[in-house]
Structure 1
Amino acid sequence: MTHELDATNLTFYFDPLCPWAWLTSLWIREVRRYRQVDVQWKFFSLAGINDREDQWHGPLRIAALARSEGGNEAVDRAYLALGRLFHERSDSFDAIGDLADVARPYLADVGLEPTLAPRALDDPSTLEEVMTDHHEAVERLGAFGVPWLIVGDDDNGFFGPVVGELLLGEEAVALWDHFRWVGTRPYLYELKRGARKSMTDLDGLSARFSEEIPAAR
């Protein structure tokens, strides 16, 4: 029997540099083991919000070329690769060095062409594609950060859920079922906790999802 909350379309705005969006994306990957969730990945530029240098757009530009060449499934893989690069090693973004070179093995690990990174960074149209998604999120949805999630046909979506640790199994599914219900209630405007729990250590969290790489869902 199909669970009444199973089949759901989810739009997920992300920036690969955001650790909070990364944890939420891993939660969604866990949920997909138990629920039918069709995730549409879209781009949101924290650099655009925070007036950072253009180099901070680099990871999103790699994901943008992945989408141009392989569709949403390729973005799914690219985000997994970039999340591992930025959140499962000790280097800060500024200390990573040549992104076009450093990203190659991570892209290869998820079945993408290693040349995707240098080609994306050499192609000015990738920045245009990133900013098209970004401006849509800001102007149409009122988005101001990530993770920004839209359940079904909701007109605006939500900032969050923001989680401080990787949720697995029943806990992940329970949060999803409640969030999915909340996300379809137009009268709910905001829910926010005062004190913020520290984030868990991100090292190696995505290893659980290695098995989905051959056919990234």
Structure 2
Amino acid sequence: MRMSRSERIHAQLSGIWVSTTRIKALGPMEFELFYDYHCPFVYRASLLLANVAAERKPKVGWRYFSLTQVNSREPGWTVWDASSTERVRGRLAFKSAEAARRQDRFDAFHSALLHARHIDRLDIDEVNVVEQVAVDSGLDIDRFRRDLNDATILEALARDHQHAVAAYGVFGTPTFVFSNGASAYIRLADAPNGAEALRVFDSLVAVAADEPGILEIKRPVKPSPD
């Protein structure tokens, strides 16, 4: 029997059908999401959350997590303490996001920067790119530039990343951490819309937040023929 597109998306996510009545029992949906701007799965997760925002009203705390840091093999080196003259993948994006928080413009800037990276394919490690995103997002560009040069701007990245590793064992992005302490690393094959988005989101929450006995779901990928 052929599967509908929504059924295929659901299967790609979990392979488990869960009644949405269990979601309602969880109460207000609040969670932290550890992310890196360079990660395509973070972008898909952000679209899913945007597509369910009106119906599910999730309260998301976006927390920094550097893939450059977690993949570094250099003992003692950190993204946040590396020389300012060193080009470090992803660092400028985190600095820019924190600068946007200081102007209470994080949400607008965050969405725009993800779009710039994953749709416009711009180099978000270039200052002129993040500055243009800042302007387009309504930030005071002079203050934005000052904050980028503030020696303390990376403290939030260091705090979030170290907390993610120590408290939850985070290893990749996006990682969801729910209010009940459950956490899950999620990779979406697509970013569904409408009713499909609601079904996928409800299934994600039901498995990730309310099924502690399920430790991992990973789908084997059939090798491509030579």
**Do they superpose with TM above 0.5?**
yes
Residue 119 of structure 2 is aligned to residue 98 of structure 1: no
| Contact kept? 1:6, 1:37, Cα under 8 Å | no
CA deviation string 1:125-148 (max 9, x = no partner): 121211110010011100001001
**Unmatched runs of 5 consecutive residues or more in structure 1:** 197-217
Give distance in 1, aligned partners of 2:143 and 2:55.
32
Matched with 1:185 is 211
Q: Mapping of 1:13-92 within 5 angstroms?
A: 13-51=34-72, 53-70=87-104, 74-91=105-122
Contact 2:37 2:90 in 1 (8 A): no
Secondary structure of 1:153's aligned partner: coil
- The structure with higher relative contact order (CA 8 Å, sep 6+) is 2
SS in 1 for 2:160: helix
34-43 or 114-123, larger mean C-alpha shift? 114-123
Q: Is the 8 A contact 2:96 2:130 kept in 1?
A: no
Identical positions, percent: 26
The alignment of Structure 1 onto Structure 2 pairs a total of residues equal to 186
CA distance in 2, matches of 1:76, 1:37: 14
Normalising by the residue count of structure 2, what TM-score does the alignment of the two structures yield? 0.73
1:9 equivalent in alignment to 2:37:
no
Indicate conservation of the 8 Å contact 1:41/1:76, yes or no.
Answer: no
Give the counterpart letter for 1:41 in structure 2: W
Task: Rate the CA distance shift 1:190–1:171 in 2: closer, same or farther, 3 A.
Answer: same
Q: Would the alpha carbon gap of residues 89 and 38 (structure 1) be closer, same or farther in structure 2, given more than 3 Å must change?
A: same
| Cα root mean square deviation, aligned | 2.4
Q: Partner of 1:150: helix, strand, or coil?
A: strand
Q: Give 1 or 2 for the bigger CA radius of gyration.
A: 2
Distance in 2, matches of 1:112 and 1:105, equals 10
What amino acid maps onto 1:130 in structure 2?
A: L
Is 1:171 aligned to 2:196, yes or no?
Answer: yes
Q: Name the structure with the higher helix share.
A: 1
Tell me if the contact between 1:11 and 1:149 (Cα under 8 Å) persists in the aligned partners: yes
Q: Which AA in structure 1 matches 2:203? A: H
